[in-house]
Amino acid sequence: MCHKTTCNTCQKTTWFGCGFHVPSVMDSVPKDEWCTCEPKVEKSGREYPPAGSVLGGLGKCIVS
């Protein structure tokens, strides 16, 4: 299953998960809010943002 997340690079909306449900996740998000990073992912003849992390924008806050 795929879910929305925040891109660690541009801080816009992207997705994470199996990749099969990208359209159902991203089509509900206004295109101007989509992650602008590359490379794009093609699903059903449309381009979508690349997969993000399950941690989303929180990934920058984790100290190892």
What's the pTM? Answer: 0.82
Residue 47 is assigned to a structural domain of this protein: yes
Residue 63 is assigned to a structural domain of this protein: no
Residue closest to 7 by CA, chosen among 58, 64, 45, 46: 58
Confidence (pLDDT) at 7 = 95
Q: Is the Cβ–Cβ distance between 30 and 12 less than 8 Å?
A: no
Residue 64 is assigned to a structural domain of this protein: no
Confidence (pLDDT) at 26 = 97
Token readout for 51 is 């997969």
Residue numbers of the domain that contains 13: 2-56
Please report which helix (H) or strand (E) contains residue 4, including its range.
strand 2-6
- Per the structure, the count of domains in the chain is 1
Residue 22 is assigned to a structural domain of this protein: yes
- CB within 8 Å of 31: residues ≥ 6 apart: none
pLDDT in tens, the chain (64 residues): 999 999 999 999 999 999 999 999 999 999 999 999 999 999 999 999 999 987 765 554 444 3
Residue 20 is assigned to a structural domain of this protein: yes
